[in-house]
Amino acid sequence: MNRELFELNTTISNMKDLMASDLDPYDAIYLGNPFCRDYEANFLEELDDLRVGIRHCREAGCKVYLSTYAAPRNYFMPQIRRAIGVAAEEGVDAVEAHNLGVVRMLRTEFPAVPIHIGGFANVYTDTGAAVLGDYGSVRVTPNYELSLEEIEGMAKSTGLHVEILVHGKMPLGISDYCFLLEYEKDWGMKCPDLCQQDLFLRQGEWAMKSVGKGVLSGRDVCMLEHLPHLVAAGFRFFRVESISEDPAYRRDVAAVYREALEEVLNGAFQLREGWWEKIQTHTKVGLCNGFYFGQSGQLYIGNQQSAGFGETSARPSTELGRMSSVEPLSRAVNNQLRVIS
């Protein structure tokens, strides 16, 4: 395995999920759920679990990163400080900050801990990334709305490592409010079980997955067939976002990407039907490329005919639906590729 040539990582919220997960396809694991303090046994709250979890990942041969809350108020900060303290004691490889206040805390109180900037931090510009670099950040996940062209430019101009989401449901925002709590009585189910259910918001063919205090894209971002381009462009840090997925998804999707990335780096990449079959098994709504090709996030651009697989339904009849028509290809996209909405 090319353990040194690239990094494939994912996010795991708690000990239960960690112990149920096969970490073999991964090089690194982010521990902690950035959405909600009440998420069941969140590593960010259960610090004994965090300690054990870090050791478990290490024993599995993975680097370990601590993720932190996406939108912390003042009263979150003491607990974040405690969690980073435990992680630092255990020699965690980095802490992911989605928030300027956490970046500043890391810089001033934990200067030896490398900082990764997460996708909620709103890094849109080279200058923004550079500012965070000045505060000790070594890696940045740019905002999801940026195109590959822009991300490549950011990596070149700042010299920072850039991490990108290659597969999984893309976060579309963070909320103060969990509307799932409104259903506790009707569903006979309470927090923290609610947000772990299979919950989608749908309008026609469009879907978003609810995770309580935020939503994820219903379609999974999939960059499998574009991996040669990503590697050629110099990207080496890849995330499979499995925070809301089951262990089988976490294992199977990453195994496909691991194999594919190794083939890319060995110069022998060829898309295999077996990979798509595996991806299809875990795709509920369909695939998209996020914003990587300078388009709306829900489009799939590529040659894979079955990219629209997953559940299907009639086109939406609302105004929102009519606005979703396929738009012209970005100048950044090879005109030979197909758009599958």
Partner 1 sequence: MSLTGRGILLAPGGSVEASKASLEAGADAVYVGLKGWSRGGGRGELTSGELIQVLALARNKGASVQLALNTIPKGHEIDFLVERLRELEAWGIGGIILNDPGILARIHQCYPDFPLTASIGCGALNLGDVALLEEIGASCVVLPGTLDPAEIAEIRPHVKAQIEVMIHMVDEFHQLGKCWMPSFYRTNPSPMPEMPADGERLTGSIKRGGAGVCFKVCQQPWGLYFNGQHVDERMLPARQVSRAAEVSAYIEAGVDVIKLQGRSLPVEQVFSLVQRFRMALDQARDGRQVAGVPPFELPRSWVVVGR
| Stretch of 31-39, 43-51, 142-150, 258-266 contacting partner 1, by CB under 8 A | 142-150
| Torsion angle (degrees, nearest 10) of CA 155, 243, 43, 29 | -50
Q: Does 67 bind partner 1 (CB under 8 A)?
A: no
Angle between helices 77-89 and 100-109 (to 10 degrees): 50
Residue 191 lies near partner 1 (rule: CB under 8 A) = no
**Using CB under 8 A, which of the segments 38-46, 246-254, 273-281, 289-297 binds partner 1?**
289-297
φ and ψ of 29, to 5 deg:
-130, 130
Which one, 65 or 206, has the nearer CB to partner 1? 206
Interaction between residue 41 and partner 1 (CB under 8 A): no
DSSP code at position 315: P
Q: Per CB under 8 A, does 43 bind partner 1?
A: no
- d(C-alpha 214, C-alpha 35), whole Å: 7
* 87 vs 178 by CB, closer to partner 1: 178
Helices 148-158 and 126-134, axial angle in degrees (round to 10): 40
248 binds partner 1 (CB under 8 A): no
Which token pair is 18? Answer: 């960690």
Residue 134, burial from CB neighbour count under 10 angstroms (0-12, 13-18, 19+): exposed
Residue 84 CB partners (closer than 8 Å, separation 6+)? 66, 68, 95, 105, 106, 109, 110, 113
- What phi and psi values does residue 332 have, to the nearest 5 degrees? -80, -10
* CA–CA separation, 147 and 290 (whole Å): 9
Q: Least CB distance from residue 202 to partner 1, whole Å? A: 5
197 sits near partner 1 (criterion: CB under 8 A): yes
Nearer residue to partner 1 within complex by CB, 72 or 302: 72
Among 210, 242, 283, 341, which residue interacts with partner 1 (rule: CB under 8 A)? Answer: 210
For 319-340, the DSSP string reads: HHHHTT---PPPTTS-TTSEEE
- State the binding string over 83-102 for partner 1 (x if CB under 8 A, else -): ----------------xxxx
Establish if 198 lies at the interface with partner 1 (CB under 8 A).
yes
Q: Under the criterion CB under 8 A, does residue 281 sit at the interface with partner 1?
A: no
Question: Rounded to the nearest whole angstrom, what is the least distance from the CB of residue 191 to partner 1 in the complex?
Answer: 15
| Beta-bridge mates of residue 65 | 30, 94
Q: Which residues in the 145-164 window bind partner 1 by CB under 8 A?
A: 145, 150, 153
Using CB under 8 A as the binding rule, whether residue 141 contacts partner 1 is answered as no
Q: Does 295 bind partner 1 (CB under 8 A)?
A: yes
Q: How many CA atoms lie within 13 A of 149 on its CB side?
A: 8
Residues of the shown chain interacting with partner 1 in the complex, contacts defined by CB under 8 A = 70-77, 99-105, 120, 122-132, 135, 143-145, 150, 153, 170-177, 179, 183, 186-187, 197-203, 206, 208, 210, 214-215, 217, 291, 295-298, 318, 320, 323-324, 327
